[in-house]
């Protein structure tokens, strides 16, 4: 079993995209606004893990610029060479298992640019937040990631689904929802019966049923086969 097991994560990944701290801060602020509009459980006084006093972070555009610039400062071990990108890691002030992690605005070196929204597991989610695991919330999070960050690929998944797939750089990881940009071809006839295909303005979204935490392993494998990956 994966270290992450049943923890749901909605994540988008893309290659080199060098941007300024102002650009990524503006995108992050708009992204956070849309997350907050999805559900009150995503409208939080977020704490930046870079701050030791654990007070709510200033997530205005100017505040985000400061967080992003600090993340690639000399104090954090970076030189003035352009390209490393910027980091932010946000978690709730109350410690509930939710998290937003972004590694954005840089070159794709050892890892791609990415943004991830982690949700509570079935075991650690309090009753008032159980709705965060509902399909409409997961779908909405996926779509705001696609809208704001324009990833090459994205997925709503849990560790158990990822365990079914080899980790190959650049490959699309399949989850309950799987997104890939318009340049990717796939065999629709090879998709499982549970699959619903939705065309978005920039790419394709495949959804496997309406129970995000209960996708059959065979359906994950079938989507990989439809993408032309060995199974």
Which of these, 177, 175, 182, 191, lies nearest to 227 by C-alpha position? Answer: 191
Quote the percentage of the chain above a pLDDT of 70: 90
Q: Would you call 42 helix, strand, or coil by DSSP? A: helix
- Encoded tokens for 149: 């960050």
- Across the range 50-62, mean pLDDT stands at 80
Cβ burial of 218 (10 Å; 0-12, 13-18, 19+) is exposed
In terms of phi and psi (left: phi > 0; alpha: psi -120 to 50; beta: otherwise), the region of 62 is alpha
pLDDT digits (tens, 9 = 90+) for 7-18: 899 999 999 998
pLDDT digits (tens, 9 = 90+) for 66-119: 999 888 865 544 545 556 689 999 998 776 778 999 999 988 776 789 999 999
């Amino acid at each position: 079993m994966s270290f992450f097991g049943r923890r749901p994560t909605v994540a988008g990944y893309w290659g080199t995209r060098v941007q300024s701290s102002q650009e990524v801060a503006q995108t992050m602020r708009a992204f956070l606004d849309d997350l907050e509009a999805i559900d009150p459980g995503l409208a939080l006084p977020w704490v930046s893990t870079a701050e030791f006093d654990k007070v709510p972070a200033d997530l205005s555009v100017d505040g985000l610029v400061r967080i992003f610039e600090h993340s690639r400062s000399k104090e954090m071990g970076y030189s003035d060479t352009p390209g490393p990108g910027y980091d932010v890691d946000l978690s709730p002030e109350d410690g509930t298992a939710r998290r937003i992690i972004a590694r954005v605005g840089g070159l794709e070196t050892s890892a791609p640019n990415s943004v991830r929204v982690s949700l509570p597991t079935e075991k650690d989610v309090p009753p008032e937040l159980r709705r965060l695991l509902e399909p409409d919330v997961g779908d909405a999070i996926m779509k705001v990631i696609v809208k704001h960050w324009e990833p090459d690929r994205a997925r709503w998944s849990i560790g158990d689904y990822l365990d079914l797939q080899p980790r190959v750089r650049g490959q699309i990881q399949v989850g309950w929802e799987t997104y890939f940009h318009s340049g990717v071809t796939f065999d629709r006839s090879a998709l499982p019966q549970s699959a619903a295909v939705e065309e978005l303005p920039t790419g394709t979204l495949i959804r496997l049923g309406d129970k995000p935490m209960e996708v059959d392993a065979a359906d994950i494998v079938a989507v990989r086969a439809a993408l032309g990956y060995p199974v």
